[in-house]
Chain A
Amino acid sequence: KAGVTQTPRYLIKTRGQQVTLSCSPISGHRSVSWYQQTPGQGLQFLFEYFSETQRNKGNFPGRFSGRQFSNSRSEMNVSTLELGDSALYLCASSSEPGGPGNTIYFGEGSWLTVV
């Protein structure tokens, strides 16, 4: 069974640009959540999508957005990139939103460097 797939794995962007990251969840999983990992702030929750609806969002500015498609694949977008957006962006999938079956499984992440 394929795991969570994230693309691209590595990318370098310039300040002010925008970036789109993609995530394909484990087959059959309908919940996709995104996390940002930085050395200073650690792992922080960005948002979660289930059945194409954003269910919760973390404390991030509006430059961070996402969406989920009918096949459960998800994308996140960061506009007007800042140096501080350099991070590992991790996508996680789960069969259900929070509850007894809510173990989340992570992809390998997308390493974003903003210069």
Chain B
Amino acid sequence: AQKVTQAQTEISVVEKEDVTLDCVYETRDTTYYLFWYKQPPSGELVFLIRRNSFDEQNEISGRYSWNFQKSTSSFNFTITASQVVDSAVYFCALSEANGVNKFYFGSGTKLNVKP
């Protein structure tokens, strides 16, 4: 069965610190997709990144970077030089390549960035 685990329930950092959000997933599929979403207090889930299972290249986008490691079934997210605006709940998600948009979400990590 598919499962996504975000063991960190809440993290607090001071502005400009680097922070890594952990994500571990389980799936029997050989092809799958991994995602990160950000949820501010307004409720909307904002798409951040998608990674295909066959592409293990790490990715950097500005202050955000993602480390995908199939060997450990992990897809971790790092924010460099965190800012107060980064405060939100972050969700990792997994979807299968079976023709259905059914996503399995982790329980989320609440990030508090203090000035």
Q: Which A residues lie at the B interface, using CB under 8 A?
A: 31, 33, 35, 42-43, 45, 48, 55-56, 58, 88, 90, 92, 94, 97-100, 102-109, 111
* Chain B nearest CB, measured from A95 CB (Å): 10
Q: Which B residues lie at the A interface, using CB under 8 A?
A: 33, 35, 37, 42-47, 50, 52, 91, 93, 95-108
Taking a contact as CB atoms closer than 8 A, the residue among A35, A102, A107 that contacts B44 in the complex is A107
How many A-B pairs have beta carbons closer than 8 Å: the answer is 68
**Nearest CB in chain B to that of A31: its residue:** B101
Q: Which residues of B contact A111 (CB under 8 A)?
A: 43
Sample of 21 A–B contacts (CB below 8 Å):
A33-B102, A33-B103, A35-B103, A42-B107, A43-B91, A43-B108, A55-B100, A90-B43, A92-B101, A98-B97, A100-B52, A102-B101, A103-B47, A103-B50, A104-B47, A104-B101, A104-B103, A105-B47, A106-B47, A108-B42, A109-B44
Contact B37 A98 (CB under 8 A): no
Q: What 6 pairs between A and B have smallest CB-CB spacing?
A: A43-B105, A106-B45, A108-B44, A109-B43, A56-B100, A98-B100
